[in-house]
Structure 1
Amino acid sequence: MEWIFEISNFLIGTCLASHACVIVERAGKEDFIFSRSKCTNCNQQLCLLDEIPLISYLVLKGRCRYCKVHIPCEYFFTEFLGGFAFSKINFSNIHGVYTAIVLFSLLLTAISDYQVQEFDIILVLPALVISVLHIMNNLNSISIIGFIQFFPIFLLLLFEIIRKKCGSGDLIVYLILSFYFSSKLANLTFLIASITLLIIFFSNKMSEKQPIAFIPFIYIGLIIQLLCK
């Protein structure tokens, strides 16, 4: 019966990811809670059948039902990732709820970073607060090995920020992963993210001067870690 539980969570995750895209697009501009979704090209309000995550994109063949403009495939990919991100969360206990909030907050951050290569601190604030409270409540469980795993990467990211080779957002996300999950998981997540980025960088022959959003790759690495636990 576990597969039913994971499928249900996957569907919940796709809905959360879909709404996360709406929040990032409308934040500070218009209501994203009570207003209906609409096409960003023709502004036509979408019907409920057009808002079903993943399925609507496939049925409509990636185009708006009304103006036929192509819908970026990034929306489909984000919903797909969101499904896997929440698939193993136990929403019946408080820790599962906290984990869902952290994942949703990081998803908002990743989407914003992908779209504009920056994010508002308010998007990541819930995850940061929860992670700080979590580490403060578990100070006695911090081991020397965990500190050794954390400190060198922390200093490296700090050094790269001073050199302006990476953004401060990467360090904030690293702190959240280390404080809420573990330094080991955070390090492996960043390793997977770096390898994935390098593969895409060399395969697409991207320009070295082109700004690259790293947080989406971190989120992919986090999903892989959570699925392998």
Structure 2
Amino acid sequence: MNLLYQLTNFLIGTCLASHACVIAERAGKEDFIFTRSKCTNCKQQLSLLDEIPLVSYLMLKGRCRYCKVHIPCEYFLIEFLGGFAFCKIDFSSISGMNTALVLFSLLLAAISDYQSKEFDVAFIVPAFIITTIHLLVNFKKISSVDLIHFFPIFALFVYEIFKNKLGFGDLLVYLILALYFSPQFANLAFLVASIILIILFKTDELDRKASVAFIPFIYIGVITQLLYK
């Protein structure tokens, strides 16, 4: 039963991730709620079968059904990671729904950051609201250990931002993770993200002189923490 529960959540996660891609691409440009998805090349409206996460990409062999243009594999990867991000969420509880909204907001930021090296702060406003309420409700539960884990990393972030080595968006994401989940959770997520980046730099998969979208790697770190819990 637990496996079926997680599989169902995985499928829900792929759907949410697929819609997150649409929102990140259309936000501020066109309607992403009531209009159907379409090919970005030929503008042909996609059928329902073409919109099934993961499956449609594999069935179409990564190409548009109509114009045969290659569909970026990033879409498949985002849907795949989205499935794992939500597979342990309890959608039947208020806390689970809050966590899902936080994860969805961060996913929007990660996709936008990957595509344009920046993101609209409006994407994470829901996460900030939920985090603020969570902090107010659980303020008395904050321990000295939490503060020890939080303040050194927070100070390091501020220092790196002043040196223009990190973006302000990275700090906002850290605050959401640290205050909603825990400072330990946030630190480990950022540690995983940093390790992945170091490996990619060492293998020359990334240009060391170019700016790097860090939030997608943070999101992968978040997923590892959620799966480990």
TM-score (norm 1): 0.99
Post-superposition shift, 1:203?
A: 1.3
Instruction: Give the match for residue 28 of structure 2.
Output: 28
Correspondence 1:113-152 to 2 at 5 A = 113-152=113-152
The yes-or-no answer on 1:68 pairing with 2:68 is yes
Whole-Å Cα distance in 2 between the matches of residues 98 and 50 of structure 1? 30
Whole-Å Cα distance in 2 between the matches of residues 152 and 165 of structure 1? 17
Aligned AA (2:55): I
Instruction: Give the match for residue 101 of structure 2.
Output: 101
Post-superposition shift, 1:80?
A: 0.1
Post-superposition shift, 1:206?
A: 2.8
Identity %: 66
Correspondence 1:47-196 to 2 at 5 A = 47-196=47-196
Whole-Å Cα distance in 1 between the matches of residues 73 and 204 of structure 2? 17
Aligned AA (1:188): L
Whole-Å Cα distance in 2 between the matches of residues 65 and 20 of structure 1? 22
Correspondence 1:39-54 to 2 at 5 A = 39-54=39-54
The yes-or-no answer on 1:7 pairing with 2:1 is no
Large movers: runs of 4+ above 4 Å? none
Q: Secondary structure at the match of 2:203?
A: helix
Instruction: Give the match for residue 202 of structure 2.
Output: 202
Whole-Å Cα distance in 2 between the matches of residues 207 and 117 of structure 1? 14
> Which has the larger displacement, 41-50 or 201-210?
201-210
Post-superposition shift, 1:133?
A: 1.4
Q: How many residues align?
A: 229
Give the root-mean-square deviation of aligned CA atoms: 0.7
Q: Secondary structure at the match of 2:7?
A: helix
Whole-Å Cα distance in 2 between the matches of residues 143 and 88 of structure 1? 26
Instruction: Give the match for residue 228 of structure 2.
Output: 228
Post-superposition shift, 1:202?
A: 1.6
Q: Secondary structure at the match of 1:114?
A: helix
Q: Secondary structure at the match of 1:204?
A: coil
- Structure 1 stretches of 5 or more lacking a match? none
Post-superposition shift, 1:201?
A: 1.6
Post-superposition shift, 1:205?
A: 4.8
Post-superposition shift, 1:204?
A: 2.5
Cα distance per residue 1:118-156 (max 9 Å; x no partner): 000100111111112111111110000110000000000
TM-score (norm 2): 0.99
Q: Secondary structure at the match of 1:38?
A: coil
Whole-Å Cα distance in 2 between the matches of residues 206 and 171 of structure 1? 22
> Which has the larger displacement, 26-35 or 127-136?
127-136
Aligned AA (1:130): I
Whole-Å Cα distance in 1 between the matches of residues 216 and 208 of structure 2? 18
Whole-Å Cα distance in 1 between the matches of residues 52 and 207 of structure 2? 36
Aligned AA (1:212): V
Post-superposition shift, 1:111?
A: 0.1
